[in-house]
Amino acid sequence: MPRLTRLNSDEKYVLDLVAELLNEEYIWQKKFDTLLGDAGKNGAMRKLPVDAYFPQNNIIVEYREKQHSQSVAIMDRRMTVSGVPRGEQRKIYDSRKENWAVENNIKFMAILFSDLSYSNNDKLLRNKEQDSEILKRMINKIIVNTDESIGWLK
């Protein structure tokens, strides 16, 4: 379950919509044994969490806020254990998660904040009906690998 501070976040809103559309509960911040970050000072590699894992549909869903596609100075300036700025590490880890999913036969869906309607401060407007339609099309592409609507999943 998300931390109390994340319960009203755009991430949770999107993940809950996907869960509703798939009619499936998700595992929030799921960690897989072989999806690992870079080694720290002591050489240990931590498991990288994914935003959500839907086990019945075998799909990882990542919600990518602004900092995943644009530089955000306050979030990117810190150096990481890998010796690269946080913004660069975020890109590396985003790519690592997607590649890992493909290598492990797990479907992967990245939802950018800009895929949905958002305000001037890059927060989602949360038009549930409109967002659901967009997410349905995205899910169709991932699950059945087609742009055509197949009716909706039950």
Give a yes or no: residue 63 inside a domain: yes
- Residue 109: pLDDT band (50, 70, 90) is very high
Give a yes or no: residue 153 inside a domain: no
Q: pTM of the predicted model, to two decimals?
A: 0.83
Number of domains in the chain: 1
- The enclosing domain of 26 has a CATH number of 3.40.960.10
Tokens 């809103």 map to which residue?
A: 13
The pairing of strands 59-64 and 107-112 is: parallel
- The better pLDDT of the pair 35, 120 is held by 35
Give a yes or no: residue 149 inside a domain: no
Mean pLDDT of 95-120: 94
Residue ranges of E strands in the chain: 27-39, 45-54, 59-64, 107-112
Q: What domain range includes position 79?
A: 4-144
Give a yes or no: residue 58 inside a domain: yes
Give a yes or no: residue 44 inside a domain: yes
Asked if residue 141 has pLDDT above 70, the reply is yes
Residue-wise pLDDT for 45-104, tens only, equals 999 999 999 999 999 999 998 554 445 455 556 666 676 777 788 889 999 999 999 999
Average pLDDT, the chain: 85
CB 147 within 8 A of CB 141: yes
